[in-house]
Structure 1
Amino acid sequence: MTAQGQVQAKKILYPAATTPEEARALADQLLKVMSELLTVIEQETELVRAGKLREAMQLGPTKTELSGHYVTAVGRLKASQKFMQATLPELLATLHRHHDVFRAMLKVNLTVLATAHSVSEKIVRGVNAEMQRRSMPNTYTAAGRRATPGPRHTTPLAVSRSL
């Protein structure tokens, strides 16, 4: 079995809520985590839109920590779903509505991040193309066509990924 197969085979079992009080506490915990995570995501979205990538990157550890809490809360909710459906269906419906709003906000954030990534990639590719164009000799074949330079004429582009 490969390492990836071992990771996939290992499932985390979350404790299910067994009383209405535990279910309400779980719902409160999930709503709190989603709210905190949305606050961080909205900050990140605004910073990326404003081009303040360094500041947006500083939110990464907080976002990672809250994401871990979110995954744990959702795992517990899934384990408790049958109990909650039987005893507190209105609470479960409320959680679903809040989660739909949460997903919509995540979609906006992911769109902004994808746009920023695309723009930065285009800039780097444009700079690289210009560097290659300037470093290649302009020669022509006997037929008067521009000769394609070999790989020895290409100059590698080094990019520092740290801001």
Structure 2
Amino acid sequence: MTAAARLAAIDSLPATELCGRAETALAALVDVMNQETVLLRAGHLRQAGQLTPDKTRLAQDYVTLARAIQRQNQRLALEAPAALEHLRTGHDRLATQMAENLRVLATAKTVTEDVLTDVAKTVGQQDRAKTYGTAGRVAQDPNAAARGIAINRAL
């Protein structure tokens, strides 16, 4: 089945079924994001990272259905106004959960970077020569602080 055919099939769903599918996808996405937020707050970065494939799939499903709802908005407003309003409320919950999730992700990223930077500085200080140079000071190599340690800022 082509992408156009899949979109046409979604667009032709009965109003309550289309809204119901979108609501189900939305609830699952909010749930996964909440799980990820809880794991990140607890410092379980690897477990949170394992939720990424599910979160990505659910987000794609929801966006596909949300776009169908946008395309069919007039029809849905006539045929299922209560379901459409309930879906809008759910979308507001998603926005709130996404904001919280992004805040926690940014905090985790900052904490991770700070820890890695501190480790790099400590390792660099241990590798530094402990002899005096010609000026009577301990020689300091500014490049030694991060030797052998890389920080991935893609989180």
TM-score by length of 1: 0.72
Unaligned runs of 5+ residues in structure 2 are: none
Give the alignment partner of residue 48 of structure 2, picking from 53, 56, 75: 56
Q: Which residue does 2:110 correspond to in 1?
A: 118
Q: Which residue does 1:37 correspond to in 2?
A: 29
Q: Distance in 2 between matches of 1:47 and 1:141?
A: 53
The one-letter amino acid paired with 1:27 is C
Q: Distance in 2 between matches of 1:38 and 1:60?
A: 13
Q: Which residue does 1:5 correspond to in 2?
A: none
The one-letter amino acid paired with 1:127 is V
- 1:124 deviates by 0.5
- 1:22 deviates by 1.6
- 1:29 deviates by 0.6
Q: Distance in 2 between matches of 1:79 and 1:116?
A: 38
Give the alignment partner of residue 92 of structure 1, picking from 84, 88, 95: 84
Q: Which residue does 1:82 correspond to in 2?
A: 74
CA contact (8 A) 2:21 2:65 kept: yes
- 1:86 deviates by 4.9
The Cα RMSD (Å) is: 3.0
Paired residue secondary structure (1:45):
helix
CA contact (8 A) 1:17 1:83 kept: no
1:25-46: per-residue Cα shift (whole Å, max 9, x none)?
Answer: 1110111011111121111111
CA contact (8 A) 2:128 2:144 kept: no
Q: Distance in 2 between matches of 1:112 and 1:153?
A: 29
**Matched residues, percent identical?**
30
Q: Which residue does 2:17 correspond to in 1?
A: 25
Residues 1:53 and 1:24: Cα distance change in structure 2 (over 3 Å): same
- 1:92 deviates by 2.9
The one-letter amino acid paired with 1:48 is L
What pairs with 1:101-112 in structure 2 (closer than 5 Å)?
101-112=93-104
CA contact (8 A) 2:26 2:62 kept: yes
Q: Distance in 2 between matches of 1:119 and 1:84?
A: 46
Choose 42-51 or 133-142, whichever is displaced more. 133-142
CA contact (8 A) 2:32 2:55 kept: yes
